[in-house]
């Protein structure tokens, strides 16, 4: 049985082009594009027509960094795969790549199986997995090869969180050497966690317990130092490197220098670093805890370097690092000791809109918006061109976006399972109207019309951004 949809009259925006075109969808895939009003477009016939006049027609967002139900600091990230992927769809994101976790002493396989069990049958949109490697040993290294073959092609390591996810330089080098052989991509949490833990202890001893000290002890220089070290370890191993959640201007400078040397190193930043700052961490009455994440928010004057990096392609991707904890009962675990505040912020629903606001504000172009939020994450993580673009053969993951609608971001109206918004009261121009996932309407004119279980696991090829 064939099912066809045609989207008429919108401005189709991809990383490469902007064209007024009608889009024909057949059996969940893009079948054809033709200039609106042309005989070819008029010949498109379908059971369902979506009028996109005056709207943008864009690829569904690809969020390459989320943590649904992630265990951390004695609690769990408050969005499940069900609530988190529904909220993602509301915000125009149609694919997430979440992080399965190897526990210390456990195998990669056990971690991956556990995350499959959490996600399967619950997601409204398609999803893939990266693997967090917390315990590098001979067995783990062999398992990396198997995971790459079955579509888990990227591995996160941590230079932070000693005793939890931390890997030392030798373990990092060995994993990078393995990735150089098997085509995997190492994703690095680049902060010098050993030094940070000393500063945490000293701050607490001085009675500095408020959330704002989280930002002070996790110094920009210690992000830059770790970024530099990760780059050089990757260079020695002959492996590409993707640095996650870059927030410090000094870290951007390390990436820029390495890229000028011709090294295959890439950087991701997140909306919280582009739009928020240490001013938020310093909010009184413990409200600053809402903004505790690692790497931490930086002073406002770091933002210009991040925007510049996004324009010059020293930074390639904006993901959310969505890792929500409720203020009530979860963030509050760290009252009187900032080091016990669960690390992470909500945002999977807000990314496409905040980046559209960046278009409105003149930081980036429309095509760059689609590139950093859809096309490049898809290529970086081996999902292109099935995901990340609108072209014949691609999955029909499509967003009808109203660039003129005004909205105010608020926890009152968002769909993430968390009791606050990091962007409460922020006015943005632009709003998701309709979202298709493989041709099926998940959001229809601002109503949820999807279902848990529509979203399927999506195995990935190796990084497509290298060639
Ligand atoms: O604070 C953060 N970023 N929490 C999520 C885990 C991570 O390091 O990405
Ligand atoms: Zn137009
Ligand atoms: Zn991290
Ligand atoms: Zn993360």
In a domain, 217, yes or no: yes
User: Ligand 1 in contact with 347 (CB < 6 A)?
Assistant: no
- Closest Cα to atom 7, ligand 1: which residue? 294
For residue 73, the model assigns a pLDDT of 83
Residue numbers of the chain with a pLDDT score lower than 50? none
In a domain, 132, yes or no: yes
In a domain, 6, yes or no: no
Q: Which ligand is nearest to the CA of 11?
A: 2
Which residues keep their CB under 5 angstroms from ion ligand 4?
A: 321
Ligand 1 centre and the CA of 147: distance in Å?
23
pTM as predicted: 0.98
In a domain, 438, yes or no: no
Ligand 3 centre and the CA of 346: distance in Å?
14
Tens of pLDDT, residues 211-246: 999 999 999 999 999 999 999 999 999 999 999 999
Helix, strand, coil content of the chain in percent (nearest 5) = 35, 25, 40
User: Ligand 1 in contact with 295 (CB < 6 A)?
Assistant: no
Give the pairing type, strands 398-408 and 427-437: antiparallel
Q: Which ligand is nearest to the CA of 9?
A: 2
User: Ligand 1 in contact with 293 (CB < 6 A)?
Assistant: yes
- Closest Cα to atom 4, ligand 1: which residue? 344
CB 273 within 8 A of CB 300: no
Our count of domains for the chain comes to 1
CB contact burial 178-204 (16+ within 10 A = b; e otherwise): bbbebbbbbbbbbbbbebbbebbeebb
Distance CA 21, CA 52 (A): 10
Ligand 2 centre and the CA of 407: distance in Å?
21
For residue 4, the model assigns a pLDDT of 97
For residue 467, the model assigns a pLDDT of 64
Residues paired with residue 431 on neighbouring β-strands, in sequence order: 402
For residue 74, the model assigns a pLDDT of 87
Total Cβ atoms within 10 A of residue 54: 11
In a domain, 47, yes or no: no
Which residues keep their CB under 5 angstroms from ion ligand 2?
A: 11
Residue identified by tokens 């919108």 is 10
In a domain, 349, yes or no: yes
Q: How far apart are the first and last CA of the chain?
A: 38
Ligand 3 centre and the CA of 245: distance in Å?
7
Q: Among 245, 273, 290, which is best to mutate for testing ligand 1, by the most ligand atoms less than 8 A from CB?
A: 245
- Domain range for 103 is 60-380
In a domain, 195, yes or no: yes
The CATH number of the domain where 77 resides is what? Answer: 3.20.20.140
In a domain, 250, yes or no: yes
Tens of pLDDT, residues 370-390: 999 999 999 999 999 999 999
Tens of pLDDT, residues 442-451: 999 999 999 9
Q: Which ligand is nearest to the CA of 323?
A: 1
């Amino acid at each position: 049985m064939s099912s066809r949809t045609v989207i008429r009259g919108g401005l189709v925006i991809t990383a490469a082009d902007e064209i007024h075109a009608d889009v024909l969808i057949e059996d969940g895939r893009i079948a054809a594009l033709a200039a609106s009003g042309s005989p070819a477009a008029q010949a498109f016939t379908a059971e369902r027509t979506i009028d996109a006049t005056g709207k943008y027609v864009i690829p569904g967002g690809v969020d390459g960094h989320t943590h649904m139900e992630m265990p951390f600091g004695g609690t769990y990230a408050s969005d499940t795969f069900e609530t988190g992927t529904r909220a993602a769809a509301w915000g125009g994101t149609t694919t997430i790549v979440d992080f399965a976790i190897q526990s210390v002493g456990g195998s990669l396989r056990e971690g991956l199986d556990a995350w499959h069990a959490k996600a399967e049958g619950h997601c409204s949109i398609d999803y893939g997995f990266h693997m967090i490697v917390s315990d590098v040993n001979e067995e783990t290294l062999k398992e990396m090869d198997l995971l790459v073959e079955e579509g888990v092609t990227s591995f996160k390591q941590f230079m932070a969180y000693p005793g939890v996810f931390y890997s030392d330089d030798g373990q990092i080098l060995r994993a990078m050497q393995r990735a150089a052989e098997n085509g995997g991509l190492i994703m690095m949490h680049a902060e010098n966690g050993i030094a940070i833990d000393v500063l945490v202890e000293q701050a607490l001893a001085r009675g500095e317990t408020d959330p704002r000290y989280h930002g002070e002890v996790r110094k920009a220089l210690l992000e830059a130092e770790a970024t530099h070290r990760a780059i050089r370890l990757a260079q020695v191993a002959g492996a590409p490197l993707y640095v996650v959640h870059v927030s410090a201007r000094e870290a951007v400078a390390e990436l820029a220098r390495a890229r000028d040397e011709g090294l295959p190193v890439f950087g991701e930043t997140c909306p919280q670093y582009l739009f928020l700052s240490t001013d938020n961490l310093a909010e009184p009455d413990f409200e600053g805890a809402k903004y505790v994440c690692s790497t931490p928010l930086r002073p406002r004057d770091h933002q210009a370097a991040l925007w510049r990096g996004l324009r010059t392609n020293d930074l390639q991707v904006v993901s959310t690092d969505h890792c929500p904890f409720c203020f009530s009962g979860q963030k509050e675990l760290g009252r009187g000791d900032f080091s016990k505040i669960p690390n992470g912020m909500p945002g999977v629903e807000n990314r496409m809109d905040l980046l559209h606001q960046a278009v409105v504000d003149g930081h980036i172009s429309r095509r760059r918006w689609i590139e950093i939020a859809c096309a490049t994450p898809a290529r970086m993580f081996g999902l292109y061109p099935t995901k990340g673009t609108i072209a014949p053969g691609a999955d029909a993951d499509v967003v009808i976006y109203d660039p003129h609608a005004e909205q105010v971001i608020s926890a009152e109206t968002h769909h993430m399972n968390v009791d606050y918004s990091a962007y409460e009261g922020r006015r943005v121009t632009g709003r998701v109207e309709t979202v298709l996932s493989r041709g099926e309407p998940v959001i229809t004119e601002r109503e949820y019309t999807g279902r848990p279980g529509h979203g399927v696991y999506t195995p990935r090829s190796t990084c497509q951004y290298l060639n």
